[in-house]
Structure 1
Amino acid sequence: MATYEQIRSDVQAKHGVYVQNCWIAHVKELNGLTPRPATNRRSLDARVKSCPAEVRPIIEASMRRFDMI
């Protein structure tokens, strides 16, 4: 499974878009994967920053390249 850094680098190289770790975690949750626990997360039930709708397909494409989904 790819790391968050690998996904971020892949998206940056292919699309020129910087993605945040919280966006990657949100997309992982939406696709049924378990995200890595964040040490600074206040609540496991609440999400402070959701992934923007226009960025989600880009992150999912990167996850497909890494055979995650």
Structure 2
Amino acid sequence: MTLTTSVLFPTSKGLSTRPFELPHTARTEAVVKLSKLNIDHDINLEIDEEDIKQITFKKDTTYQEIKDYTLKKHRLKVSTLYIAQIKRKIGIVERKNYNLSKKEKQKIPVCPPEKEAAIRDAFEWFGMF
């Protein structure tokens, strides 16, 4: 989901939109919850810029995000197989692969060097290593 440049606000006539601006950076994420204030169940929390610098967030990057990044930046389409191969190569093993082929001598394509470099760049961009 992407934040837009307007938000719905309740008015006496229903809902209306008001524009707002967010600083545009490649790595800004926000979760917004609009709700009716219930003072018995809500906590008012303020975090200043210095506090934010001390907080570390870890989000698992999806295969689709890696594919989109490599296509946009390097103009290369990469498969999930290639991404998984490079993850294993650099030591990122997330879970057991249950989709293994039952063939004894199957031919598995190997990720080409230019695609490996693009995938590694995406890993670095997303802070995966």
TM-score range, shorter chain: 0.7 to 0.9
Which runs of no fewer than 5 residues in structure 1 stay unpaired? Answer: none
RMSD over aligned CA atoms reads 2.1
Instruction: Please list, as runs of the form range in 1=range in 2, the aligned pairs for 1:1-69 lying within 5 A after superposition.
Output: 1-35=60-94, 37-38=96-97, 40-42=99-101, 48-69=108-129
Structure 1 length as normaliser, TM-score? 0.81
| Greater fraction helix | 1
Q: Which 4+ stretches in 1 moved above 4 angstroms?
A: 35-39
Q: Which has the higher contact order (CA 8 A, sep 6+)?
A: 1
TM-score normalised by L of structure 2: 0.46
**CA displacement at 1:40 relative to structure 2:** 3.6
How many residue pairs match? The answer is 67
Quick one: percent identity of the two aligned structures? Answer: 27
Unaligned runs of 5+ in 2: 1-59
Structure with the bigger percentage of strand: 2
2:18 is matched with none
Max radius of gyration: which structure? Answer: 2
